[in-house]
Amino acid sequence: MKLAFSTLGVPGMPVRDVLRLATEHGWHGVELRAHPEEPVHPGLSPDERAAVRAGFEAAGVAVLSVAGYARVAAPGDDAPVLEEIRGLLDLARDLGAPYVRVFPGGGTGQSPEDADATAARRLGTAAEYATEAGVRVLLETHDSHRTGADAIRVLGLVGHRRAGALWDVMHTWLGGEQPAESYAALAPHLGYVQVKDIASADDTTPLPLGEGVLPLADCVDLLTRHDWDGWLCWEYEKRWYENAAPLPGLLGAGRRHLDRLLDEAA
């Protein structure tokens, strides 16, 4: 498996510094948080996009994903959501990233059936855009659809190879699923896996990998036994937890922890 980390852990950090951290600590790729407050977002000009791509290629580091914030199950008109996703897909294409992340984002007052239908309709259209861009759009297990069982209800309706799943191991665990249950639901659609660690279900402050309660070893063992050869991405949510330890000082130990889990699973 290949290893990446998310720029959510280093909010606002210039791309050159992100690449320095990746190369210093042996990470294979980076998930780019595509928010306007970040250095890389859909508002970049063609020249700026080309410069970002060239920097990654020169460093030998992959752009794993463009992590957007479009909410495909949210109530309201389809057009603004689809426009947002198309901008993310265009950015991913220009950067050479294989994936775009979207959230479910179902709203209060929606029935589960309506949320599923809305998300599936939008993802089906987005998948056609994704085909044109040569990118895959991934629905993260998150918020209104935090388990594999939730996500598969939507993806089963879409039935398009360019629409897939991003497995966030924290959210499926918080949703009460065991790793084997999550994998069984998501495997036919799985793009990549976000790993992280937290103290408890009541305290989701990010911790260094291996110092919390999430079943990371079980997840890695499960993926290895099924010969899954994709990406593990450490999403350290520093952006939302100001008191969390800075990620740069943790990247070396985090990489070594994942290497140990992979060695033990093998």
Residues of the chain with pLDDT under 50: none
How far CA 137 is from CA of 97, 196, 206, 259, in Å, comes to 11, 22, 26, 28
CATH superfamily of 2-265: Divalent-metal-dependent TIM barrel enzymes (3.20.20.150)
Given this model, what pLDDT does residue 218 score? 97
Look at residue 262 in the predicted model and tell me its pLDDT.
97
Rounded to two decimals, the pTM is: 0.97
Question: What pLDDT does residue 109 have?
Answer: 86
Residue 22 has what pLDDT?
98
pLDDT at position 108 is: 84
The CA distance from 221 to 90, in Å, is: 35
